[in-house]
Amino acid sequence: MSGTERTLFAGVDIGGTTTQVVLCHRDLTVLERAEVPTPAAEGGRAMVGAATDALAPLLARTPGRLAGAGIGAAGVVDAAEGRVLVASDSFRGWAGFPVAAVVGDALGVPAFLDNDVNAFLRGEVSGGAVRGEADVLGMTLGTGVGGALWVGGTLFEGPHGAAGEIGHIPGFGELPCTCGGRGHLETLASGRSVGARYADRTGRRLTAREVATAAGDGDPDAREVFRAAGAALARAVVMTAGLVDITTVVVGGGLTRAWHLLEPLVRAPLEAEPPVSGRPVRLVRGSLGSDAIPVGAAARARREVGTE
Ligand SMILES: [Zn+2]
């Protein structure tokens, strides 16, 4: 051990129902974590206050010097300005809220805001399942389908922060999407749509987890819903590989609890229709679980402030 004080980074994931916070060593090892409800109906200041209040006891009992904080949040964010641009209706007073500035003031360190799917991918590349890889598509299969791109060793956000938003590209049928579009990947491959597609076929409303269990028990409708989700995901991967020549896809989100079921259903069509490069795309499940977003947010802070 050197005699210098330990450098710490804080990471925050402000989700629709829960907020996760972590305190990391500068190598991104998680030293402490906590989870609190997100007061999404009470406005931006309350949401940020819940996160910084959750961090306070972690900071108090962890020796070291906090050097920066990162926040991952759903919606469209201005990562340079640290502000949420577009938020879902479930968040009150969130769009326009200067998240990074308020967190930075509360903690007394520089703070940075990222879209949550970008933070997920940064987390998995910085310290998770695809550590050190240069060209990766990240996908999160939760309530919706999120996407993010890591190209040439860096996050590729695009001029509007929308690069990699694979959940909302068309060409996957005609079903209406939550965003108002039609035939988007999300209509087949999110947790919510797995439940909805099963209900379309059977008239029975199950959660994605229950559909997965039914598929495991041999229910042909449940199997077909998962087959369609897997085929759609594989097609999205092939399209991405054709455009930006990714080597790897890392998948996270609640639907990956059914990875044993989903993984072969993505892999088979991926192998049947390989990218034009002829090089197969590696398909892996994220390894950080619910730490991926806060650790990725902390990794952004580490990159911005440096570690020395
Ligand atoms: Zn859509």
Order of strands, sheet of 7-14, starting from the edge strand that comes earlier in the sequence: 30-37, 18-25, 7-14, 65-73, 111-115
Give 6 Cα–ligand 1 centroid separation in angstroms.
44
pLDDT at res. 74: 87
The reply to whether 53 and 157 lie within a common domain is no
CATH number for the domain spanning 68: value is 3.30.420.40
Give 181 Cα–ligand 1 centroid separation in angstroms.
5
* 17, 213, 258, 263, 289 from 209: Cα distances, Å: 19, 6, 7, 15, 17
Q: What is the pLDDT of residues 214-224, one digit of tens each?
A: 999 999 999 99
The reply to whether 171 and 216 lie within a common domain is yes
The parts of the chain modelled with pLDDT lower than 50 are 1
Give 59 Cα–ligand 1 centroid separation in angstroms.
40
Q: What is the pLDDT of residues 232-254, one digit of tens each?
A: 999 999 999 999 999 999 999 99
Nearest to 153 by CA among 129, 128, 136: 136
Give 186 Cα–ligand 1 centroid separation in angstroms.
6
Q: What are phi and psi of 35, to 5 degrees?
A: -135, 135
Q: Taking the model in full, what pTM does it have?
A: 0.95
Give 19 Cα–ligand 1 centroid separation in angstroms.
25
The reply to whether 156 and 23 lie within a common domain is no
Where does 128-190 have alpha helices with state H? 186-189
Task: For residue 169, count other CB atoms closer than 10 A to its CB.
Answer: 17
For residue 126, being part of any structural domain is answered with no
Q: How many structural domains comprise the chain? A: 2
Give 167 Cα–ligand 1 centroid separation in angstroms.
6
**Residue recorded with tokens 């890889």:** 133
pLDDT at res. 307: 61
Give 247 Cα–ligand 1 centroid separation in angstroms.
26
Give 292 Cα–ligand 1 centroid separation in angstroms.
24
pLDDT at res. 3: 53
For residue 262, being part of any structural domain is answered with yes
Full domain range(s) for residue 137? 132-287
pLDDT at res. 40: 93
For residue 86, being part of any structural domain is answered with yes
